[in-house]
Copies of this chain bind each other. A is one copy, B any other.
Amino acid sequence: MAEERGTARVTCTAPVNIAVIKYWGKRDTDLILPINSSLSVTLHQDQRRPTQLRTTTTAAACHDFTEDRLWLNGEEVDAAQPRLQACLREVRRLARKRRGDDAAAPLSLSYKVHVASENNFPTAAGLASSAAGYACLVSALARLYGVEGELSEVARRGSGSACRSMLGGFVQWHRGERPDGRDSVAQQLAPETHWPELSILVLVVSGEKKAVGSTAGMQTSVDTSPLLKYRAEVVVPERMTRMARCIRDRDFEAFGQLTMQDSNQFHATCLDTFPPIFYLNDISQRIIALVHRFNAHHGRTKVAYTFDAGPNAVVFMLEDTVDEFVEVVRRSFPPDSNGDQFLRGRPVGTAVLPEELVSAVVVDPVPGAIRYVLHTKPGPGPQLLDDPSQHLLGPDGLPCRSA
């Protein structure tokens, strides 16, 4: 808890997570309780690299604040929105419970809060910005009020998949059985150090825009898709067990296959929704076909795609495949410009592709279709930033100029 004279400020970062067993559909829209369990990999926030995906949030509280206020990427937005208020209420409730009747607690729970949050990636592009956003908000508020322990349940109230961003590595979100949602929480299956060879590429597709938001989309699916119901009740429980085993055993082939199958099944239920929802576009389909050709050429599953509610691909592979696959991507989707911004994140080595590989895998290139490729790894959960210069809100509780 960071208490200062006047304004208390805390700044955290939180990670994006990418589900390998997908969450789609709520059984309780108010408490945000899912119709099935899900499982994800937390992406690295790597503070030293400006291009790694993360959200940064400063929460501030002060006697003098007259209302809750919220800035997203420098723009003030309505702080009365129910999900933000639900998170705030829940953190305060936990703080109250923890303090008991200790009137000497440093920060009054009645103070209004100011919150500023920034993503270093495009929002609403199917890159789980709300997951990182609410995980970051809840982490910062919890630190501000000195609350510790299980917080995924609180983050879930902001955005379902945010609960998975409260932990690093490999995380499962239990569906839970209770109507009050107390058992619908995230749990770490293994830390990010468990599988050091696992590498991740995010392929950001050009000109993408999200047609149907996931909140509205998943509810239409619950209401209209017979296949989603079957998936949630019958398919996912078995897949959760199987995926946990793949991760435990670091069995990349089985992990990759199940990851691709579950991504495809999620998008199948979107198509079974009425009216149907399409998140995969022609470029997504080309990436899928490319991955299958690459694997077929090698005679085994060396790379595996997954797509959330948008056309961008997240591709898993082991470290020894990164250089070659990146070169295959570059040949299949030649960068528009000179390409110096094409590769971002962790370093990638050069690879010379064998002729047979090129002729079997690189067919019909589409220049400019992929905007950039981000190389990343599994990473830890939310982080506290100690350096006061990194606060997004000044001592006056208003946004700093830098954005």
A interface vs B, CB < 8 Å? 224, 226-227, 230-231, 234-235, 257, 260-261, 264-265, 267-269, 271-276, 278, 281-282, 285, 288, 292
Contact = CB atoms under 8 A, between A and B. Distances in A.
Q: Which of A235, A267, A278 has the most CB of B within 10 A?
A: A278
A328 B273 CA distance: 25
B265 A227 contact: yes
A383 to B, nearest CB: 37
Contact of A272 (B234, B264, B275, B281): B264
A235 B269 CA distance: 14
Contacts of A278: 285, 288
Given A261-B274, A292-B275, A227 B268 contact: yes
B264 A274 contact: yes
Nearest to A282: B282
A264 B261 CA distance: 19
Contact of A269 (B224, B260, B268, B281): B268
Contacts of A265: 226-227, 271-272
A235 B226 CA distance: 8
Contact of A227 (B230, B282, B288, B292): B230
A165 B276 CA distance: 29
Nearest to A269: B268
Nearest to A230: B230
Contacts of A292: 275
Contacts of A274: 257, 260-261, 264
Given A268-B272, A282-B282, 4 more contacts: A227-B272, A268-B269, A275-B292, A276-B288
A377 B182 CA distance: 58
A278 B288 CA distance: 10
A276 B260 CA distance: 9
29 contacts: A224-B261, A226-B230, A226-B234, A226-B235, A226-B265, A227-B227, A227-B230, A227-B235, A227-B268, A227-B272, A230-B234, A257-B274, A260-B274, A261-B272, A261-B274, A264-B271, A264-B272, A264-B273, A265-B271, A265-B272, A268-B268, A268-B271, A268-B272, A271-B271, A275-B292, A276-B288, A278-B285, A281-B282, A282-B282
